[in-house]
Structure 1
């Protein structure tokens, strides 16, 4: 039986690869996609999502636009770590895919999530891979919906080092109050996939060449999008490896079908929402005598071979 999930995305290049994987893998049933402001503005995250689904003939999957700003702030709490549409921008404003033919659904992300979770006869998996604004808003309206979720799989956070600041990863930093609310909501199982793991699951140019050689729309698109990421990381010296890049969000969808891709520790995680130096930092208590009940299974490693294998097999 396929695992039923909802993706919550701020679609840039890595979200797009995750959508391709979730929409095409035979063991996953993509019940809907909700969009949020993040890598680009809401109009573009929504349009980019529609482009991805149209490309692979999955316009039957509903796309529901969500929050256009953080839940407690107007604008981000600082400067972004690259300039838009430069050689260091791994996303761009619009994805280099054919223009969308389909339209977003009339119901908003929050309306769709509330209705789906409240009416669910079996539990769903939520996979938010952008800022957590939509999920936090749903929880503010009806905290009981956590009972309809078998697992929340979050791409976000960092322990060793951030990407938008020395302390913070972008998704959490972009709406730290939302992240703090989600981590304290009491989900039965919350799996957190931070930069510590995703920066180990690198995809190489050679891997991209193999995906392109599949000749499928998904294979060619993934190859182009990941190659853009490799070029941007190389230009910005974002990782020490050459001719490779992380595809953060795709690690989360890969985990759904290949849980052995990551190794986790059960820890107490909180989010800094106040310090000017460390706002958005995911504070993971790794001490042997840690204080606080563990609330997240945190991935500290990820296997690149498993990621590439499931992407390539699915896109074939």
Structure 2
């Protein structure tokens, strides 16, 4: 089998594309998916994840529900979510594919992560593409599990590009204290795929059309999800949109899809104006030790090619 991967998701449209990519690419072995509060509440991220795996014929990939709120609530007991209307929401509460036939596992995400990482005899790549609440909580239970991870690939943060506030990217803003824990943990390698990179890897309408023409479940669903994103982003990127989370899974099989620099990164957790900001020190003589390989650029053509090649595949029987 290929590279062993656990995805941690808050499934909206871009997470869904990342899940399908990880489940279908022959070089990846998707061990399990953990869900977290984020784009939508936990019950919806879990339902959407099950929908996706059922739709593409991968119902045996286990789904484990996780943390329903930030690790430090600070007035957000129901979690933090995008405050958008339906017309400009790139996700929607329920993905536009049939309701799931399968159910989530009884074992919660944190327990699954700790038990799996403790027991593994092979390195596992951990790919959180939502708020980092599950990962931080697992580290609080057992900090040594970081040693079982060959690479942590995070979709989050931004240097010059933000979205949920003038200072912050959503995944980090939604649980900045968790992000702080994860950036301080003892992972062997930490890769941070920022909005700067994902906004350089836009997926245009012509790729949606080509995905739909594949006639596969994944191609049909990806076209549907990305078209929704294009509609939501039409004011800023005419005819194209970023599909943030799939850049992380594409990187696992084609590292050249992003360009990284080894840099110091810290998360602002206190200031009301800049909470959730990833402070990325790009100065050539920064005094702080680098703690992340930060992606600030990406190859759009390669990403689009990878999507088409991967979603042409049917799930293995």
- What TM-score bracket applies, with the shorter chain setting the length? over 0.9
**Which residue pairs with 2:268 in the alignment?**
272
TM-superposition CA deviations, 1:168-217 (whole Å, max 9, x none): 00000000000000001021100000000000000000110000000001
How far apart, CA to CA, are the structure 2 residues paired with 1:95 and 1:79?
Answer: 20
**Which residue pairs with 2:124 in the alignment?**
124
Alpha carbons of structure 1 residues 78 and 56: separation in structure 2 relative to 1, 3 Å: closer
> How far apart are 1:291 and its partner, in Å?
1.8
How far apart, CA to CA, are the structure 1 residues paired with 2:78 and 2:259?
Answer: 31
8 A contact 1:80–1:164 mirrored in 2: no
> How far apart are 1:78 and its partner, in Å?
10
Are residue 300 (structure 1) and residue 296 (structure 2) matched? yes
**Which residue pairs with 1:41 in the alignment?**
41
How far apart, CA to CA, are the structure 2 residues paired with 1:93 and 1:138?
Answer: 27
TM-superposition CA deviations, 1:55-91 (whole Å, max 9, x none): 011010000000000000152899855425x110110
TM-score by structure 1 length?
0.96
8 A contact 2:8–2:129 mirrored in 1: yes
Note the residue ranges of structure 1 that are not aligned, 5 or more in a row: none
**Which residue pairs with 1:225 in the alignment?**
225
**Which residue pairs with 1:251 in the alignment?**
247
The 3-state SS of whatever aligns with 1:67 is coil
Note the residue ranges of structure 2 that are not aligned, 5 or more in a row: 313-317
**Which residue pairs with 1:291 in the alignment?**
287
8 A contact 2:80–2:174 mirrored in 1: no
How many equivalent pairs are there? 311
**Which residue pairs with 1:207 in the alignment?**
207
Are residue 262 (structure 1) and residue 258 (structure 2) matched? yes
**Which residue pairs with 2:98 in the alignment?**
98
How far apart, CA to CA, are the structure 1 residues paired with 2:27 and 2:80?
Answer: 39
How far apart, CA to CA, are the structure 1 residues paired with 2:266 and 2:222?
Answer: 34
How far apart, CA to CA, are the structure 2 residues paired with 1:186 and 1:279?
Answer: 24
**Which residue pairs with 2:53 in the alignment?**
53
How far apart, CA to CA, are the structure 2 residues paired with 1:196 and 1:287?
Answer: 17
CA RMSD in angstroms, aligned pairs only: 1.4
TM-superposition CA deviations, 1:71-124 (whole Å, max 9, x none): 00152899855425x110110000001110000000000010000000000110
The 3-state SS of whatever aligns with 1:102 is coil
Are residue 75 (structure 1) and residue 76 (structure 2) matched? yes
How far apart, CA to CA, are the structure 2 residues paired with 1:306 and 1:252?
Answer: 13
Moved over 6 A (4+): 76-79
The 3-state SS of whatever aligns with 2:172 is helix
**Which residue pairs with 1:191 in the alignment?**
191
The 3-state SS of whatever aligns with 1:87 is helix
